[in-house]
């Protein structure tokens, strides 16, 4: 669990360097942002995904990207060291964040095989 938290924080720092308008003040802020994003996704994000499941099915999962962007914007509004400039930035940042998280988890899991 701690490893996943650290990887999420590293992913946030990487995304902040790649996506303009996606700002993380430092690694400490990334750790806090990763924790808050995880809590938001586990609570409100889960509820929204269940409620909007029909819309997500109709859009072949595309609406899940919108929900993830909204969760990033909510976290950005709650935290000082983490800022997302707008919805488009949150949408792009969410996609890049997912890909970076996937890559980091693959790199960490690869030596265990």
What pLDDT was estimated at residue 2? 87
The verdict on residue 17 lying in a domain is yes
- Give a yes or no: residue 65 inside a domain: yes
The pLDDT score that the predictor gives to residue 113 is 55
User: What's the whole-model pTM score?
Assistant: 0.88
Query: Is residue 52 domain-resident?
Result: yes
| 113 belongs to a structural domain | no
Number of domains in the chain: 1
Question: Distances in Å between the alpha carbon of 11 and those of 7, 41, 97, 100?
Answer: 6, 16, 6, 6
Give the length of the chain: 113
Residue 57 inside a domain? The answer is yes
User: Taking Cα atoms as reference points, which of 59, 87, 52 lies closest to residue 71?
Assistant: 87
Average pLDDT over residues 70-85: 94
Cα(108)–Cα(3) distance, integer angstroms: 9
Structural domain containing residue 83: 2-108
pLDDT at 101: 93
């Amino acid at each position: 669990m701690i490893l996943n938290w650290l990887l999420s924080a590293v992913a946030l720092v990487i995304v902040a360097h790649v996506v303009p308008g996606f700002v993380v003040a430092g690694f400490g802020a990334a750790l806090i942002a990763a924790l808050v994003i995880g809590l938001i996704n586990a609570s409100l994000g889960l509820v929204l995904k269940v409620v909007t499941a029909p819309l997500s099915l109709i859009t072949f999962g595309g609406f899940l990207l919108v929900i993830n962007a909204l969760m990033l914007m909510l976290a950005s509004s709650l935290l000082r060291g983490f800022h997302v400039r707008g919805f488009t930035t949150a949408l792009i940042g969410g996609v890049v964040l997912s890909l970076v998280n996937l890559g980091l988890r693959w790199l960490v899991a690869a030596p265990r095989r």
